[in-house]
Structure 1
Amino acid sequence: MRQFVELFFFTFRFKCAIMFPESQGKLIRMSNFYDKKLLLLKPQRIMLPLFPAKTSFDINALKPLADSIAAHGIIEPLVVRKNDFKRYELVCGHKRLKAAITVGLRRVPCVLVSADELTASLMATAENLNRKSPDYFEQAEEFKRISIRFGIEYETIAEKTGISISALLNRINLLNLSSEVRQKLSGLDESYALTVSLVPQEKQIDFINRITSLSLSPEKAKEAVKDYVFPSLFEKPEAQKETAPLRKSVSCDVRIFSNSLLKLISTLKNSGIEAYSSAVEKEDCIEYTVKIPKSKPGARTQAGAQKHINPICSFVP
């Protein structure tokens, strides 16, 4: 009942702030709702993070959201934090903020959370992962930026944002594609990009043109790779025909090793062994580390369970 009353007054005061902004103070504070402080802030008081998780917006996609906000207001509050300069910094809701500014909204509802820069970056990344049409190249850049800036491994990022380590590494590998190839893949599903990454670099543009002109499904595109790529890969002198195909087929996709390693770790964990792996991308290689504790199986079960009970992004509204 208390939560219902607080929600009612939050909605009421939010509407009053829009209709009668001159009657409001500089900052409208409200009581805690679900243990989070709710605020109505002027858009100009909210500063963007130095490295926002979302950097590009489709103007055409922004208009429907702006029309909805103009008609019904912001249904889902933005998430902000107090940065080192004691200013309100946006954590989640960049698109909603831009749409609110577009329609001239005078105040926007915000949830104030206590988070440092790393936590805020992980929260924003986790929210972007749940979008209908995420920009997988942009997300890969964000994963890499977080890893380099804060010195944390990809496995930790995957755990904190709720994405599998294999999916994360697949997206990191997509950064090896040229800017021309990325532009060609714009608007296509991530599965097409992963398929194109298997094709030699000099043939990727031609392969994209073929699968788009034939309107191939992701499954058909994967099958087309075998006919398009492998025959040329196996063309070797007579003396090398027995050994070259094996080395070439194994080395053509480093993700095979990554996925095999992940399956091994999963098998060990299912057997009660708390093994885990990490991957660090370097200039000339990707360094994998597998750690198996000497303690008895199950010794870290309680700590692991506690970590899953309180995920870092559980409080994102």
Structure 2
Amino acid sequence: MGSAQCIEIIPVGAIDVVNPRARNRRIFKEIVTSVAELGLKRPITVKRKVCEGEPRYDLVCGQGRLEAYQALGQREIPAVVVDATNEDSAIMSLVENCARRQHRAIDLLHDIEGLRGRGYDFDDIARKTGLSLEYVKGVTSLLEGGG
């Protein structure tokens, strides 16, 4: 993963949400209220895309914050721009989901399944996410239809 990162103010409309997540309405309202009253506590994370013309970005972390900005009619948002591969982006997103206080189990399952599909083994996933090896193996077993 590249170490070059800086905070830039980027257009909300230039950000693509690659792996959108469904969000509980009440939680989303809380995020919007918090952003409206307190501002953004921490910037979103994006990675620059190679495109013709206008700069474009893929969202790595911060879908709720991005959607709150959109709901509040903001046109620009502070973002940490990282130089990361698709695999690194997926891992960063999973780590943030693990750290979120009220993460949804289904999101963790989806992210672990995605990492397994990219060829990461149980040890890699456990080490990169801080989840226990047993947890990662158990989730994978469930996803593969075991018990």
Q: TM-score if structure 2 supplies the norm length?
A: 0.85
Is the 8 Å Cα contact of residues 126 and 161 (structure 1) preserved in structure 2? yes
What is the alpha-carbon distance in structure 2 between the residues aligned to residue 151 and residue 84 of structure 1? Answer: 25
Higher Cα Rg: structure 1 or 2?
1
Is the 8 Å Cα contact of residues 4 and 82 (structure 2) preserved in structure 1? no
2:10 maps to which residue?
Answer: 41
Q: Indicate the SS of the match to 1:134.
A: coil
Q: Indicate the SS of the match to 2:90.
A: helix
What residue ranges of structure 1 are gaps of 5+ in the alignment? 1-33, 178-196, 198-317
Give how far 1:171 is off.
2.2
Pick one of 79, 91, 97 that aligns with 2:45: 79
Matched, 1:111 2:80: yes
Q: Indicate the SS of the match to 1:55.
A: coil
The one-letter code of the counterpart of 2:59 is L
What is the alpha-carbon distance in structure 1 between the residues aligned to residue 4 and residue 56 of structure 2? Answer: 21
Report which of the two has the higher share of strand. 2
What is the alpha-carbon distance in structure 1 between the residues aligned to residue 99 and residue 138 of structure 2? Answer: 17
Is the 8 Å Cα contact of residues 46 and 82 (structure 2) preserved in structure 1? yes
Matched, 1:129 2:98: yes
Identity %: 25
2:32 maps to which residue?
Answer: 66
Matched, 1:156 2:88: no
- Residues 108-133 of structure 1, C-alpha deviations (whole Å, 9 max, x = no match): 10011110100000000000001122
Is the 8 Å Cα contact of residues 66 and 99 (structure 1) preserved in structure 2? yes
Q: Indicate the SS of the match to 1:81.
A: strand
Q: Indicate the SS of the match to 1:132.
A: coil
The one-letter code of the counterpart of 2:30 is P
Q: Indicate the SS of the match to 2:29.
A: helix
Is the 8 Å Cα contact of residues 41 and 110 (structure 1) preserved in structure 2? yes
Report which of the two has the higher share of helix. 1
Q: Indicate the SS of the match to 1:111.
A: strand
Matched, 1:143 2:96: no
Give how far 1:83 is off.
2.7
The one-letter code of the counterpart of 1:145 is G
What residue ranges of structure 2 are gaps of 5+ in the alignment? none
